[in-house]
Amino acid sequence: MFKTDRLAIRRARTDEADIELVYRLWTDPKVMTPVGFPHGLRITRQEIAEIVTRRDSSVLSAILIAEKLDGDAIGHCKLGVPDDEGIAETDIKMLPSHWGQGYGTEIKQGLVDYLFTHTGCKAVKATPNRNNIASQKMQEAVGGRRVGEGVFTFPEEMRDHTVDVPHFIYMVCREEWEKRRQ
């Protein structure tokens, strides 16, 4: 799909390695606590394989794998389909062993660049947990501005294994992105 200085971003495949990577990420409490799953997501490898398989043909809604140029997978991400207002929401999850090395910012910049280059979206949104300072810095590093805050609350039937997520809302607007590229 695209490359950054140190990474290649590609669509997830239904092979064992990609399914295992997503499973490790989604069931890891360190990775999932900031998004409301303090014990990880309750999901099986088979369910992940089905999710990867049934994604529509659009790369915007697909699970993407982020790997170093040597092929070592470090996480996954998602571009996001622009909504009726032209806003796309991205997502990044990385293995904790790769945190603090600038990969998140590199992935985020690649996602923002891809969305503004290949779609007509007007803005790229992110909602990092208020306690996730690294994610907030990542949003700011790619030109994101804090425009609000909120609390995500899961449906009643999920409350026994989730927690509310207080978050900030960051936006990277196309106009600002274009100015930064000049």
Is a pLDDT exceeding 70 seen at residue 66? yes
pLDDT tens digits for range 13-29: 888 999 999 999 999 99
Structure tokens at 42: 């309750």
Is a pLDDT exceeding 70 seen at residue 73? yes
pLDDT tens digits for range 98-120: 999 999 999 999 999 999 999 99
What distance in Å separates the CA atoms of residue 68 and residue 166, rounded to the nearest whole number?
Answer: 32
Run of H or E including 175: helix 174-181
Is a pLDDT exceeding 80 seen at residue 129? yes
- How far is CA 53 from each of CA 18, 21, 43, 50, 106, rounded to the nearest angstrom? 12, 15, 15, 5, 27
Residue 87 lies in domain: 2-181
Say what the pLDDT of residue 82 is. 92
pLDDT tens digits for range 38-51: 999 999 999 998 88
Between residues 14 and 130, the one the model is more confident about = 130
Query: How many domains does the chain contain in total?
Result: 1
Return the CATH number at 85: 3.40.630.30
Say what the pLDDT of residue 19 is. 94
